[in-house]
Amino acid sequence: MTALLAGISLMGGLCATQAHATTITDMAGRTVEIPHDVHRIILGEGRLVYALAPLEGTHLFERIVGWQGEFRGADTQSYDQYVARFPAAAKVALIGKTTADTVSPEKVLDLHPDLAILTVSGHGPGASSELVNQLEAAHVPVVFVDFRANPLHDTIASMRILGTVLNREAEARAYTDFYQSHLDRITKAVATVPAERRPKVFIEMLAAMRESCCHTAGKGNMGAFIEAAGGRNIAAPLLPGYIGDISLEKVIASDPDIYIADGTKGPKAAGPGLRMGAEVSPELARSSLRAVEDRPGISTLRAVTGGHAYGLWHAFYDSPYNILAVEVMAKWFHPDLFAGLDPEKTQKELYERFLPVPQTGTFWIAP
């Protein structure tokens, strides 16, 4: 009788668990069943914390048990600010360094996760990785999101997915409503601008940090921000993918109207590159932009000599905060059309409403 009752109890428990499970389709097109209560989360990239912050708020590091280590290297200042606010962040286990091939499936499984959040593309493990195979074999659900390849299309869908799997649907809805309303304002206005009035734009990603120019965005990623803001991305027809390299000669021949450099280096960083992001003053950002501009070839661009060179935070390229980059670009490209647009106000609202860490610093700069 006792065994029968135990069996009934077990079956009831299983039925309850199954009743609370949610099935979602992730950004890799995979169907995944998610348990109702998720307690131990692995992040395939540390910078996915940008996406979890608006959803988890002050509980941000209560469920993250492992992440890849690129966050602390690629955006050191933001990492330091998060550690200051959440000391537990410094204790999150590292499952790898800065690339997918450094991620150890064994380390991940030793952390006993009940959910892994990975990115469709980027620095972390992809859908065909051994990590995914081993997690699925261990019955750990794996969910893919995207803020990098097709950000303006995938950000809202990705945030909704995260809201569902983290049981933070209301928080996700608040953020996506905010995001959509700001994006709609830009796209509706840009739709009235004829093609010939849209400036030719070149963005140099991680400007001056590589031996040769020029690392940039094509169709997608930062290139999508340029197009949405009413610009014509000169690299779009030159690259097969959404990120790649084009020669300085092609940049010069394209004669862009606007040049944008991006970077994430902080005040204490060594070497060339744009100082931008948390803890960076406007004065430091502007002086570093001048140094980036003052390079052979770049310094001769009409956009630079004409005073149309700008600086931007590189991490917008893989963050749900990318709406700020779109607003800033729209203001740069079409100042008359967007005279009433205030990206600083939008940033203030985003930080105060949605982020548990009040980041201070400079995230874009004009000449």
233 touches 201 (CB < 8 A): yes
SS (H, E, C) the chain: CHHHHHHHHHHHHHHHHHHHCEEEECCCCCEEEECCCCCCEEECCHHHHHHHHHHHHHHCCCCEEEEECHHHHHCHHHHHHHHHHCHHHHHCEEEECCCHHHCCHHHHHHCCCCEEEEECCCCCCCCCCHHHHHHHHCCCCEEEECCCCCHHHHHHHHHHHHHHHCCCHHHHHHHHHHHHHHHHHHHHHHCCCCHHHCCEEEEECCCCCCCCCCEEECCCCHHHHHHHCCCEECCCCCCCCCEEECCHHHHHHHCCCEEEEEECECCCCCCCCCECEECCCHHHHHHHHHHHHCCCCHHHCHHHHCCCEEEEEHHHHHCCCHHHHHHHHHHHHCCCCCCCCCHHHHHHHHHHHHCCCCCCEECEECC
Q: Where are the domains of the chain?
A: 23-167, 195-365
pLDDT at position 103, please? Answer: 84
Q: Domain 23-167, CATH 3.40.50.1980 — does that match?
A: yes
- Same CATH topology for 23-167 and 195-365: the answer is yes
Kindly list the distances between the CA atom of residue 90 and the CA atoms of 64, 93, 95, in Å, as whole numbers in the listed order: 11, 8, 13
Write down the pLDDT at residue 20.
65
Give the phi and the psi of residue 65 in degrees, each rounded to 5.
-110, -15
Contact 111, 136 (CB under 8 A): no
Instruction: Say what the pLDDT of residue 365 is.
Output: 98
Q: At what angle do helices 169-190 and 343-354 cross, to 10 degrees?
A: 170
pLDDT tens for the chain, residues 1 to 367: 333 333 333 333 433 344 468 999 999 999 999 998 899 999 999 999 999 999 999 999 999 999 998 999 889 999 999 999 999 999 999 998 877 778 888 999 999 999 999 999 877 677 778 889 999 999 999 999 999 999 999 999 999 999 999 999 999 999 999 999 999 999 999 999 999 999 999 999 999 998 889 999 999 999 999 999 999 999 999 999 999 999 999 999 999 999 999 999 999 999 999 999 999 999 999 999 999 999 999 999 999 999 999 999 999 999 999 999 999 999 999 999 999 999 999 999 999 999 999 878 999 999 9
Report the candidate in 135, 106, 122, 129 with the shortest Cα–Cα distance to residue 41.
135
| Cα 26 to Cα 158: distance, rounded to the nearest angstrom | 8
Q: Which residue has the tokens 């840009």?
A: 190
Output the CA–CA distances (angstroms, integers) from residue 31 to 66, 117, 151, 200, 282, in the order listed. Answer: 23, 14, 21, 41, 46
Please give the Cα distance from 357 to 367 (Å, whole number).
28
Rounded Cα gap, residues 243 and 245, in angstroms: 7
pLDDT in the model for residue 252: 98
Of 365, 258, 252, 232, give the one whose Cα is nearest residue 298: 252
Question: Is the Cβ–Cβ distance between 363 and 307 less than 8 Å?
Answer: no
pLDDT for res 112: 97
Residues in the chain: 367
Predicted confidence at residue 8, as pLDDT, reads 30
| Assigned token pair, 181 | 């309303």
pLDDT of residue 96: 85
Report how far residue 340's alpha carbon sits from residue 227's, in angstroms, rounded to the nearest whole number. 20
| 3.40.50.1980, 3.40.50.720, 3.30.1550.10, 3.30.70.370: CATH of 195-365 | 3.40.50.1980
pLDDT score at 211: 81
- Residues with Cβ within 8 Å of 335's Cβ and at least 6 positions away in sequence, in order, are none
